[in-house]
Amino acid sequence: MQRVTPERYWSVHDIAATRRIEQRAAAALPPHALMRRAGLAVARLALAVAPHARTVWVACGPGNNGGDGFEAALHLKAWGKEPLVTQVGDEARMPLDARDALQRARAAGVQFAGEAPAQCELAIDALLGIGSTRPPEGRLRDLMVQMTARARAVLSVDVPSGLDADTGSRAATVLATHTLSLLTLKPGLFTAQGRDACGQVWFDDLGHEDIEGERPVAQLVGPPVPWPRPHASHKGSYGDVAVVGGAPGMAGAAVLAARAALHHGAGRVFVGFLDPSAPAFDASQPDLMVRPLDTLDFRDMALACGCGGGDAVAAVLPRALRARALVLDADALNAIAADAQLQAQLEARGRRGSPTVLTPHPLEAARLLGSTTACVQGDRLVAARDLAQRFGSVVVLKGSGSVIAAPDGRTWINPTGNARLAIAGTGDVLAGMIAARLAAGEEAATAATAAVYLHGLAADRWPAGRPLTASALASA
């Protein structure tokens, strides 16, 4: 069993692949052995999470997720605890593995109760796993609510009940403090509502390491390879970044992106403000070179375009789309969503293989896809992939568990970052960081995954007592 941390890359498999892996794993073992392993792993983690808990409430649902719970209960009983099992569903309709586990729990003298205890130190959530097919209702839903309210710690088996393991979307779900994912890690644990629902994620492969042949649906991003800065190098070795944005009233957005590019190691950083009356000099960051827009030649540069761009950015886009490398953010994306000609130019850029990264938040993604924010958030992996394919660009779909998709289908989920980033300007900082990496010649997907990871890590390591602002983040 391993704690899932951002210190390495992890493979993530969807429900369909997990089902195939489960079938192969079960077929290679004696009957019921896989579920017995699952229950033992759950019981071990329960003991580690709440070593001093006497009563452990185990809520078991109608399928095999419930079976894992019965198995866990019988181990806890054998170890001197007092598990109290609440069972939902008709025994006659239970899958065979779960029914076997229920009978073993009864035979071991595990106590069953119709109601949840008023309070408990630890609850084990074995109500629904990857078989959750519809919004929970009735007694099942009541138990889910009681679990979150009454237990000091909640350990969810495989998936927090009610969460869609593929998408991380949910109508209602248990809010766990710990989740033990079995056989595979599932994408929904790490994006959309998943991170709030899961708490700390743990992983147990149940002794089945052979998952070859099942392509992961995504990778959780791990630490980037450190950037070499050889002694025999000069500012030209790290490339030029240009930032175009800062329409009237929004100059700060362009400055944030430019400062972030500078602090992320770009050789030289230029700013072209869309507001003609913007200052010609950034007094507190004199290393930035503010230039009239029409004097900047983007063809040798990595351009971050759109930060605070307003409507004015549309006029620059035909020229911006010829930049050597390009990050399109915010209003640049909105302008492209509204203009078929710009869309065609972006698609052509993709066909030429010019490095391009789009950084939409969910609403910007919805505009580009001609859909709705709810639809994008309903399946973030699919939305990011659709955009990446359509525009031949790397796409960073921002928000909790940012999804990064490349046009060739490679997909990543970022495990770093937190809601302290949910403030104006942090997206501009991200665009600048990506541009700095593109300027140095990094491949678009590598630049995007590395920048998203480090941007989130900076927020995770931010001192609790220090306000996180976009300007502080830009120079972190």
Ligand X SMILES: Nc1ncnc2c1ncn2[C@@H]1O[C@H](COP(=O)(O)OP(=O)(O)O)[C@@H](O)[C@H]1O
Query: What would the two tokens of residue 125 be?
Result: 């959530």
Structure tokens, 15? 């429900």
For residue 246, the minimal CB distance to ligand X (Å) is 13
Q: Does 197 bind K ion (CB under 5 A)?
A: no
Applying CB under 6 A, among 96, 315, 348, 419 the residue interacting with ligand X is 419
Query: Annotation-wise, does 311 bind a ligand?
Result: no
What is the x/- site pattern for ligand X, positions 342-381, by CB under 6 A?
-------------------x--------------------
CB 286 within 8 A of CB 342: no
Rounded alpha-carbon distances, angstroms, from residue 162 to 87, 171, 175, 192, 243 = 16, 7, 10, 14, 43
Q: Which does 422 bind (CB under 5 to 8 A by kind): ligand NPW, ligand X, K ion, none?
A: ligand X
Residues near 420 by beta carbon (within 8 Å), at least 6 away in sequence: 459, 462, 468
166 is in an annotated binding site: no
Write 386-389 long-range contacts (CB < 8 A, 24+): 387/358, 387/360
User: Given candidates 45, 49, 53, 62, which one binds ligand NPW under the rule CB under 6 A?
Assistant: 62
Q: 186: which 2 tokens?
A: 């599932």
- Measured CA to CA, the distance from residue 403 to residue 218 in angstroms comes to 9
Residue 409 labelled as part of a binding site: no
- Give the span between the Cα atoms of 67 and 35, in whole angstroms: 7
**Per CB under 6 A, 167 contacts ligand NPW:** no
Burial of 456 (0-12, 13-18, 19+ CB in 10 A): buried
Q: Does 218 bind ligand NPW (CB under 6 A)?
A: no
Q: Is 239 assigned to a binding site?
A: no
Residue 472 makes contact with ligand X by CB under 6 A: no
DSSP string, 459-475: HHTS-TTS---HHHHHT
How far apart CA 209 and CA 315 sit, in angstroms, is 54
d(CA 448, CA 406): 10
Interaction of residue 460 with ligand X, rule CB under 6 A:
no
302: Cα within 13 Å, side-chain hemisphere:
33
Contacts of the segment 228-234: beta carbons below 8 A, 24+ positions apart = 229/265, 234/267
Residue 306 is a binding residue for ligand X (CB under 6 A)? no
Residue labelled with tokens 């950034």: 282
Please give the radius of gyration of the chain, using alpha carbons only, rounded to the nearest integer.
25
How far is the C-alpha of 150 from the C-alpha of 145, rounded, in Å? Answer: 9
Residue 22 or 331 having the CB closest to ligand NPW: 22
Q: C-beta of 162: minimal distance to K ion in Å?
A: 8
Please report how close the Cβ of residue 134 comes to ligand NPW at its closest, in angstroms.
4
Give the span between the Cα atoms of 402 and 419, in whole angstroms: 12
CB of 328 to ligand X, least distance (A): 12
Among 157, 175, 396, 435, binds K ion (CB under 5 A): 157
Report the C-alpha gap between 197 and 179 in whole angstroms.
Answer: 9
CA end-to-end distance (rounded Å), the chain: 35
166 binds, among ligand NPW, K ion, ligand X, none (CB under 5 to 8 A by kind): none
Stretch that binds K ion, among 123-131, 196-204, 365-373, 382-390 (CB under 5 A): 123-131
Among 97, 125, 379, 428, binds ligand X (CB under 6 A): 428
- Residue 140 binds which of ligand X, K ion, ligand NPW, none (CB < 5-8 A, kind-dependent): ligand NPW
> 157 or 253: whose CB is closer to ligand NPW?
157
DSSP states of 222-264 as a string? -PPPPPP--SS--GGGG-EEEEEE--TT-HHHHHHHHHHHHHT
Closest CB to ligand NPW among 31 and 409? 31
CB of 199 to ligand NPW, least distance (A): 17
Residue 194 is labelled as binding a ligand? no
Tell me how far, at minimum, the Cβ of 170 lies from ligand X, in Å. Answer: 16
Site string for ligand NPW, 83-122 (x = CB under 6 A): ------------x-x-------------------------
Comparing CB distances to K ion, the nearer of 6 and 188 is: 188
Work out which of 261, 328, 383, 430 binds ligand X, going by CB under 6 A: 430
Residue 177 annotated in ligand binding: no
The residue within the footprint of ligand NPW, chosen from 4, 6, 13, 22 (CB under 6 A), is 22
Q: Among all residues, whose Cβ is closest to ligand X? A: 427
Residue ranges binding ligand X (CB under 6 A): 330, 361, 398-400, 402, 417-419, 421-422, 424-428, 430, 455
Which parts of this chain interact with ligand NPW (CB under 6 A)? 22, 26, 34-35, 38, 61-66, 68, 95, 97, 128-136, 140, 157-159, 182-183
* Residues at the site binding K ion, with contacts judged by CB under 5 A: 125, 156-157, 161
